[in-house]
Structures are given as C-alpha cells and as structure tokens.
A and B are shown apart, each in its own frame.
Chain A
Amino acid sequence: MSPVPKPAEPLPDVRSARTLAKLIRRFAPLKAETSGTVLLYLARTACDLTVSWLIGVAIGMLATAHGKGALPDEFVSAVWLLAAVMVARISLMYLSTVAAAALAQQIENALRSELFAKVTSLRFTYHDENRSGKTIARSLRDMEKARHFFREVAFGYLDALLMIAGVLVASFIAHWTYGVAIALVVGTAFGLTLWIGVRIARMDRVISDNYDRVSTNLQENVAGARVVRAFGREPEESAKFGGSLGTFTGSWTALSNFWTSLTPWIGSIYPLAYPAVLAIGAWRVGRGVAGVGEIASVLFCARLVHHRLRPLTRLVIMGQEAVASATRVFEVLDRTDVIPADVNSKRLPPGGGDLVLDDLHFSHPKGPSVLRGVSLHVPAGSSLGILGPTGSGKTSLVQLLPRFYDPSSGRILLDGVDIADLDVHELRRAVGLVFQEPFLFSATVADNIAYGAPLASRERIVECAKLAAADEFIVGLPKGYDTMVGERGVSLSGGQRQRLTIARALAMDPRVLIFDDATASVDAVTERELFQGIRAAARGRTTLVISQRVTSIRWCDRIAVLEAGRVTGVGTHAEMLQMSSLYRDVLRHQQLTGAVA
C-alpha cells in the first residue's frame, strides 16, 4: 500500500525564467495602475530613507550643542521637517498597500477566468484519468498558489530591492567608502539569502510531497474505516501511518538541520555593516571631513535594510512555489487542443434526429484502436440499443456524438449534416446525454433540471420531471422543486439522482437522447424504477441506449451488438436472438441473475 513514490521534479531554471517573464507580463495590460503603484512604492521608500536620514542629521546637530543649554534653531526645524515627512510616509504606506492589493486582485481574477475558460474548452482529455487530465485538474489548484506572485511576491521583492537601492544611493551620497562597505555586506547577505531560500524551497517541495503522503494515508484510512475494521488491520494501519509520518518528520529534520546551521551565520553578515560604518566614520571624523551626524544618518538608513532582509527567506520560498505552480498553469493555458471555435459552422437544419454513423474509426492518442469501422443508421424517432462487453468501445462511440472526441476517420451525420461542420454548442444542445455517474450541481432541483435550458418555465421543468418518473419523489422533498441538492444539499439515492439527470437531458428537448450505461451502478430495484423513466423519455425521440444487460435494451426498436470495436449484428430483439450468439449468452445468463428484491 505504499503510496506511489512521486519523484520530486527539479525546478528547471530555464522554465522558471520563462514563467517569471510570463507572470511579469501579466502586469502589462494595466500600465497606468502598475506604474502608479510602483511610483507610490518609490515615494514610500524615499520617505523611509528621509526619515532615517533626518534623525541622523538632527542628532549630528546636537553634537555641537552639547552642554550649551538651548536647542539650536536648526535642530527644531529639522524635527518639524521630520514630523512632516513621517506623516507623508504613513500616508504613502497606506496608499501603496491598497493600490498593490487592487492591482494584484485584478490580475489574479483575470488569470483565473482565463484558466477556467480554457479548462472548460479543452478537448475531452480531462476525464480520461490519464496524466494530462490530472494536470488540468491540478492547474486550478496551482492557480491558488500562483496568485501569491502578484501581490506578496512581486511587491515584496519590489519593496526589498527599492530599499536596497535607496540605501546604496544614500550611502554613496554620504561618501563612496560607506557605499562600498554597505554594498559588499548587502550583496553578500542578499545573495546568500536568495541561495538558501531556493535551497529551502526545493527541500520544502520534498517535505510537502511527504506530507501529501501522510495526508493521503490519513484520508484513506478514514474513508476506508469500515474495510480496516472488517479485516482487523488497525495495528498495521498504525504502523504504516507511523512509517509515512516518520519519512515526513525525517525530511523536516533534514531541512531544519540545514536551515538552522546556516541561518544564524547568514543573519550575522549584515550587522557587520555597523562596525564598518563606524570605522569609516572614525577615519573621516579624524581627518576632519565629516561630522557625527553623517555617521548617524548612514547607520539609521542601514538599519532599514536589516529589517527587510529577515522576511526575505519566506518571500523567496513563496516566490519559488508560486513560479513552479504558475509553470503548470501556463502549461494548460498554452494548450492548443481546444474545441474549434464556431466560425464558418453550419446551422442544424430542421429535422427529427436522423442519425447516420458512417465507417467510424477511433483510437486514443498512442492507444490501440477502439472503434474499427462502425456504421449504423438510426432513423428519426427510433431507438437503438447497443450491447457489448466491457472494452467493446460502446462508451467511446457515444462520446463521439457530442464531439467530446473526433473520430480518426469516418463521419457522423445528424439530419443530413456532418456534425464536424456544426457549431459545437448547437450540436450539444441537440444531443441529450445521461451519464453513468449521475452528477448534480449544488443547486435546486429545478435549476439542475433546467441546467441545459436555463430559460425553461416551471411548467416545463415539472413536465420533464414527470416524464423521467422523478416528479413523485421531488414533491416529497422538503422544499419540492426548490430543494437544494448536490454536495451541500439533501442526499438523494443513486436512482433519484439518475432520474433527475434524465429530466435534465429532456429539458433541452434534444433531437437525440443517449443513455450511457445509465443503470450500471444502481441496484436492481432502482434499475427497474429507472426503466419507466427511460422508456417514457425515449418515446418518439431518437434514442441510443448503451448497456451490458439485455433487460436494459430489449425494448428498443433495434439492437446492435458491439464487439471489439465492430458491430457484429443489428436487429430487433427477436432477430438478435436468432442471429447473435453473444446476445443469446448474455440473455441466458441474465435470466439466471434476475433480481429478487
């Protein structure tokens, strides 16, 4: 049961640099806001420095006034000026914080919308449970880490860098020797902080991978509580958890050993600036070219950087994580396999849903072929049952109809038009799908039924529910059609949920109705209930019913048997009994396995 070891992906520097550029480019469309915010930060930094500088100047003025009894006038005006700059500094601090938040928020929301739109327009690889599908699902979670770039990371770095630049400028103005000394110290401290931050960020990824394992372990244990107890494996589970927890704790300890042995030393580099500044000061005072005030000013300014360096490690880690996450977000955004936009597409002519499948071949990328030349004709208003064992290609076949995938060759005609030429949304509105898993949204019953037809009246909704044999249980719910369902609503049985999804498909008034193994995961009693709904819904409408069980399809006008991607027989129930040995086998077995309760 050891969880799949995920190799910690290295952070490729080239990709990171490219992602960083892309992230920064996100500010480009908001030039005015961005430059305004940067200017506020600039002004704020200038004020910070001026305050420190002025304190030094004021103290310097006192050096000559020592013991003279009265404060010099220039000192008093310096203090007044100081007070004024302090007020400006406070206001700028507030304004820059609010401006940065507003700007970052706008960019964050735009990026999230873009990603969301992309994910819902990608070709249907998401649900394949393959790697790329997981990447897409994960990208939205990554988004929530990437968003930190725009506010915390971008403006955190801006603040630190502006301050470093400002202090260097101030100290060079005082005298180049101060500048050189501070540049050396800041450069070393800043460089080492970045270096250790990047190292920690890498170790941090190992830790969070390890923690994911601890967490998965825990979640599985709770979700599988019954299984664990059924087999009496509690001690083994405890031991297993102890193991993954131990790995996690081990990686934590490794990080902490690394971090704790270096951080204090890196932290001790910057304070070296103080004796350096003092030594230079003593030398300059001794030569009579400087006063005490100059030294005090440089010292107070130097302390400003000191305060900026401490939180920098955290910022570097957050930045690394944001960039790594953003890389995956951009990977999805850069994908080109979207469903073709509805340009030059034909409209669907009026018709009753006449469906022609013409020599369809299909395979997943790099996979074996799933369909090998399927041709079928379903006349308007008739029903076709498709029977086939697992892996025969029946689900792939119906996924081609709403163009979740496109066939490798062959075509599908709906009322005489090749569906590849149709506007994809118009096509999908004409195809009503009932999936095997009855997925409902967190919304009211009525909203769920009207999901594909948001303008449907209440009468229409009730009508569809009645057709799908759902009305009777809906009126019994606490608030009838206005009862909340889905994850945060009342819990419905599998059969009830499935009946709602049938009503949902009907509400669109589709030309073609498809039941994709809709009764597979319900028990026999529910299956029987669902039948009524399905048969009523199918009346007078082109209907495809996919199933493994003869009972689910024997009522269809015609039945096709699909084996290994080929149609091996088409006919009525009676004809199929004559014609298909598979059909006979399945039926015979089924009669033995009929439901009792």
Chain B
Amino acid sequence: MSDEMELEEEFARAPLAQARLRRLLGYLKPYKRTMIWALALEALWVVSMLVEVELIGYAQDGPVAGGDWTGMAVLAAVMLGNVVFRAWFTVWEIRTTTRIGVEVMHAIRKDVFDHIQRLSMRYFDRTKQGRIIARADRDVDTMEHLLLWGPVVLVNLVFSMVLGFGRMCGSHASMALWIVPAIPVLWALTRTFEKISYPAYRRVRETHSSISSHVAETITGVRVVMAFSAESRELARLEKRQAAYRDAVLSSTRMSGAYVPCLLLVLQAITIVALVVGGGAVASGDMTAGGLMVLVMMIGFVLGPVEGLGGLYTESLIAGAAAERIFLLMDTDPEVKDREGVTDPGRLTGEISFEDVSFAYEPDGRHGNQLEGVSFRVAPGETVALVGHTGAGKTSIVNLIARFYEAQGGVVRVDGRDIRSISVSALHRQMGMVLQESFLFAGSVLDNLRFVRPALTEEQATRGFADLGCVEVLRGLSQGLATEVGERGANLSEGERQIVCFVRALLAHPSILILDEATSAVDTRTESLILHALNELASRQTTVVIAHRLSTIRHADRILVLEHGRVVEQGTHDGLVAAGGQYANLYREYATT
C-alpha cells in the first residue's frame, strides 16, 4: 500500500452517520445495564472531586482560620473517607469499562476477519492487500480509544462543567456570568487550532513516512546499494528527507505549541477576574476567603473540559471515518457464495466439463473476455495440460474450475453437475492446488502440511514427501519437518517452497489436482523425480497442468492449446507436433534457441 494512500485514510474525517452509529452502538447493547452503572459512577466520581474542593474551602474558613486543631482532625477524616470511597468504586468502574471495551474490540476484529473469509478472489484482485489489512488492523485500532473511553470521558467532562457551573451560580452568580463567554472562546480556540495545525501535522506525517519508506527500501535493496557503492548517496538522500522532516516538525510545533499557552491565557485571565470580583465580594462581606478559594479552583472544573471536549470531537471524526471504512468492507457482498439448495456431492470422480464458457475478470468487459466460448471435457483420472502464450487463458480456466470466480456465460460442470450447485467448501476440500506463487504460512513444514489435514502425523507427512519422490529434499532441510519456514516461507528456497506446496496439495487427497507451473524453480534432478512420481499417482485424481516445460506436458494424456481465450487445438504431444499447427510452432520456436 502506498504511503500517500495510507495518509489519506489516516487523515480522513467524517461525522458518523446515524445508521452507522447505531450499528456501532449495537456492539455495546449486551452491556447496556452495566454501562449505565459505570457511567453513573463516573458522574459520582466528578461529585467526589467537587466535594474535595468544597471541603478544602470549608476547612479554610472554619477550623484552619480558627486554629481549631480537633475540628480539623474530624474534617481530615472526612476528606480521607471521601478519597478512599472514590478509589473503591473507581476500581469497579474502570475495570468494567475496560472489560467491555476489550470484549467489544474482540467482537469487531473477529467479525471483520470472518467477513474477509467470505470474500471472493475478485475482491482481492481489486483491493490492495494492505488496504484489507488496514481495515481489520489500523481502523479497528483507531476506534478503540473512542469506544473504550469515549462515553466515560464524555460523562466526566459534561458533569464537571455542569456541576461546576451550578456551584458557581449558587455561591456567586456574577462570577458565573463572567465565565460564560469564556466557554465559546475556548471552544473556538480549540477548533481553530485543530484546523490550522491539521495541515502542519499532516506534513509531519508525510515527511516522516518518506523517511520510513526510504529506509525500508534501502534495507530491502541493501545488496544492490552496496554492490553499486551507493551508500553515501543514499545517506545524502536520507539527510535531505530528514531536513524536510525537521522543518515540518518545527513549523508544526511553532503553531500547535501555542495552543496550550493560549488556553492558559484565557484561564488565567478568568482567574484574575475571579480574584478581583471575588476579592471585592470578600471585602464587602458577601464571600469568605475560603469561598474565594473554592471559586478559583472551580474555574478549572468549568473551563478545563472544553479542551477535552474538543479533543473528543476530533477523535470522533477520525473514528467515524474509520468506522465508515470498516462497515463498507463488512457490507461487501461475496461474489462466489453458496446458492440456495446447494449440496455436498460426496466424493467426486473428478470429471470436468466446460460448455461454451465465457469469462472476463472485469465483468464490464473493459479489458475484453479472457475466455470466449470454451468447451472441453476431462475424464476422471485423466491428465490434461494447458498450453499457450501468456494471456491465452490458461489460468482463467484453472480459476473457474477452482471456482475462485464465476463464469459470465456457459456452464462449468464437475461430475456432470453445474459447479454452482455444489457447496463451495465441499468443492474446495476435494481440490489440490499448486499455485504459481508458492505461498507458505509462517510455522514449521509440518504445520504447513497440517493446514490441509490437521490430524496429520509426522510419518504420514514424511510419506507425503516420499510419494512425490522428494525425501531427499526433506532431508536437506535443517530440521526436517520441524524446520521453520519463516514468514511466507522466506527461510526456504523457491524450489523447496514449491515442493512443500506440492506435498500439501497431494496430502489433501484431491479429486482434482491443479498444477500451475508447479516445478518451475525446482532443480532439474528433483524435477525429474517428481515427474516420475506424479506419473505413478496420475490415475488417483484428475490432473490439470499449466506448464511451459516439455517434460511436464509430455506426461499429459492430452494437451489443450489455447490462444486468445479459445481452445485452438487438442491432442497428444506427438499428434500435435505431427499435425504441424500452433503447438508445433511453439515447440519449434523453443527447439531452435
């Protein structure tokens, strides 16, 4: 995924539409009662904080001013009691809130993942991997803080403002009038700073991600950097990016660094006003010194939350955009899914037939059809090779047999039944595929084989290699079946990866085996062993092979030659060479180089 795209998403802001919000809150529904309790306790927390200030003021005027040592001791005990009581119920409150948050996040993550399992290959073709991952990963993360703490923080801030203001009105109404205009001023300040620091902060992120991508690229290509003696040039390039980053950070700090001082300016101005107005009230006997102290402390209760509310508002916009993207993914309808009335056909014989099949990756026909009226039949146990230039339609045929996609025209049949009447999972579980990219999961070799057969024993796994004539390859691995293959199999060579994929496919006991350039990276000696072994196993299942190398194709019972999405010839190797058609041309072309 390109960094710009990632930034674009990160900076997207959108208020959450009501329907989406309701859906999001739906996750909280099972916890409704508990949630209400927790919020009530949060309100109680604010009350306890106000009581603390109240008690300080009361002490100031009473026992402290009077030097009443015993009176103060009683009051201190009350204050202590307040603190202990507050801590006691807060434990329950925050534990409950975090538990709910953690469970809700768990549910959302699981739902997103499960939905991804239902999506079809066409979705994966069109959407970059990074974007799909970002949905379940970063976007859920983005919502986490808001879902976890949003309601609690909101209750806290609102209660603190309302109660503080009420208290002020009660004791000194004119002071309350002074403080009211400060609220919109602070709100405007908060929003303005959010808006003007947004592009500056964005620039910081952009310049930082340009450093990251440069570093990542240099490390990936470090062999090339060294081989071409470009170390100092790459360092100069890094430093140029770092300079841009530094400038961005400094200009952003110069701007956003003024925010807190500006807030403070307003708060302090109000404090001065409170001292002067309250001082006058004290002098005229309307207020006590302790009362003035409470008044000054109360300013924080009323005005402090404005900043918090501003932050919460921004956060809700960012989370809103993330939620929007998550729901968009969850609303994507899978293209290939079980129709009503599908059945599990039991063990398949592996007969395949195409009847006038047309297919395009882009259904709107923008790039033309990949297959055009293709018809053929493969008998159970037969081995068929697909031959043709790149783009001739070989992989499309395989993709339709595997039902990664659905054909736009014609019918694909397996065992004589329309493939759409067979449950997708039942079909896939009888299929063994060795794909062009030999994809392995991080874990041991054995783990990867257990992917298709969870109960596989080590013995059976070893036999799997033996059946393919590749026991030598298994022995060559540093720890045999226990060898860790690394992320995407990176610890194995390309050839070793292909062999593990091959064994995996055979261990699935397929009715239909599909080989898409399955031995392209295997060294020649091993390849001949595999081909020999495959010959022995051929009758166990129907085999469809895509290959460029003659050896693989020779073993096939029949060859289908494809050109521009049509089957132009079919027959055996010798027959086709003798016929002198397209296949003979391809063959000659190679033989003369």
Contact = CB atoms under 8 A, between A and B. Distances in A.
Contacts, number: 434
A236 B114 CA distance: 11
Nearest to A390: B523
B387 to A, nearest CB: 5
A227 B86 contact: no
B242 interface: yes
Contacts of B427: 232
A275 interface: yes
Interface string B228-250: 11110111001100110110011
Nearest to B285: A67
Given A62-B282, A278-B56, A593-B527, A101 B253 contact: yes
B350 to A, nearest CB: 16
Contacts of A272: 80, 83
B211 A112 contact: yes
Contacts of A261: 91, 95
A97 B113 CA distance: 43
A140 interface: yes
Given A226-B121, A241-B113, A439-B224, A295 B64 contact: yes
Interface stretch (B183-191, B316-324, B445-453, B459-467): B445-453
B361 interface: no
A261 B87 CA distance: 9
B528 A592 contact: yes
A268 B87 contact: yes
A86 B523 contact: no
Contacts of B280: 71
A286 B69 contact: yes
Contact of B494 (A113, A428, A433, A521): A521
Interface string A302-314: 0100000000000
A227 B528 CA distance: 26
B484 interface: yes
Given A229-B121, A292-B60, A487-B217, A521 B521 contact: yes
B534 to A, nearest CB: 13
A595 to B, nearest CB: 5
B268 A86 contact: yes
Given A1-B441, A222-B129, A286-B69, A597 B87 contact: no
B439 A223 contact: yes
Nearest to A487: B217
Interface residues of B, number: 166
B229 A452 contact: yes
Contact of A69 (B79, B283, B508): B283
A62 B98 contact: no
A575 interface: no
B549 A116 contact: no
Interface in B508-530: 508, 517, 520-521, 523-525, 527-528
Contacts of B429: 231-232
A596 B257 CA distance: 68
A555 B93 CA distance: 79
Nearest to B265: A90
Contact of B64 (A126, A233, A281): A281
B136 interface: yes
Interface in A1-15: 1-4
B550 A523 contact: no
A439 B106 CA distance: 39
A60 interface: yes
B592 to A, nearest CB: 11
Contacts of A256: 95, 98-99, 102
A472 interface: no
B551 A218 contact: no
A82 B274 CA distance: 13
3 nearest interchain CB pairs?
A: A286-B67, A232-B428, A67-B285
15 contacts: A55-B275, A70-B283, A71-B283, A113-B238, A116-B235, A120-B231, A223-B439, A226-B439, A229-B120, A230-B435, A278-B63, A279-B73, A282-B59, A285-B66, A592-B550
Given A451-B228, A586-B525, A594-B551, 15 more contacts: A63-B289, A68-B283, A71-B276, A97-B257, A97-B260, A126-B222, A225-B124, A227-B435, A227-B439, A231-B433, A268-B84, A268-B87, A282-B59, A282-B69, A303-B297
